[in-house]
Amino acid sequence: MNLDRPTVKLAGATLLASLAVILQILPPLFISPWTMRIDLVAIPWMLCWIIFGFKPALLSLLISAPLVGFLGPFAGGWVGATMKSVATIWMFLIPAIFAWKAGGTKKLLENKRLFVVASILAIIVRVVVTVIFNFYFAIPFFFNMTPDAIISLFENVTTLGFIGFGAYITEVAFWNIIQGIIDLTASLTLGLIIFRRIPALTTEQKNE
C-alpha cells in the first residue's frame, strides 16, 4: 500500500478519527476533581501522525473533535472539544518537528533520548497552554466563573503546598502531565510495534 497517496491518508485519518470517537464514548480512565477526563482519546490521533504524517493527524483531530465534545460521559460540549484539541495538538506537533529534524518518525521513536526531549517539550507547552486556556476560557465558560472567582476558589484549596493561583496552576499542570505521559508513552509503544510489524512504513512515512 502506498501511504503517500492522498486517498489513503484521507481514509486513514477518517478511520482513526472514528476510533477516537469510540474511545470517547467509553468510560474515562479517571476524572480529575475539576472534571478533566483522563482517557485514551488522543492515541488514534498520535498513531495517525506516526503512520501517515502530521497533516493527516491534524485532519483526524479536526474530524473527530466535534463528536468528542458531545459524546460519552463528561464530554464537555464545545468547550471540552476545544480544550481537548488545544491540549492534544502539541503531543504530535512538537514530536513531528523533532522527527522532521531526525530524518523520520521511526528514527525519532527509536532514539529514546531524543523522544524524551521532544516529549518533555510537548508536555511543557501543553501545560502552559492549558493553564492559560482553562483560566480565561474553559472554566469561565463551563462553570460561569470569572478569573477572580477561580483564584478565590483555590484560596481554600491546598495542592502540593500551594494555594490560590499557585494551587490552580499545580492542579491543571498535574493532570495534563499525567494525560501527556499516557498519550506519549502509548504512542511510542504502539508506534514501535507498528514499524516493526510493517517495515515498509520506514520508507513510505514522511511526516507531512
The band of 2, judged by pLDDT with boundaries at 50, 70 and 90, is low
- Rounded Cα distance between 21 and 30, Å, is 17
Q: Note the pLDDT of residue 76.
A: 83
- Summarised one tens digit per residue, pLDDT across range 160-181 is 778 888 989 999 999 999 999 9
Domains along the sequence of the chain with CATH: 6-204 (1.10.1760.20)
pLDDT at 196 over 90: no
Q: Note the pLDDT of residue 201.
A: 66
- Summarised one tens digit per residue, pLDDT across range 28-75 is 898 887 778 999 999 999 999 999 999 999 999 999 999 999 988 778
CA angle 108-113-116, nearest 5°?
Answer: 80
Q: Note the pLDDT of residue 14.
A: 97
Does the predicted model carry a pTM greater than 0.75? Answer: yes
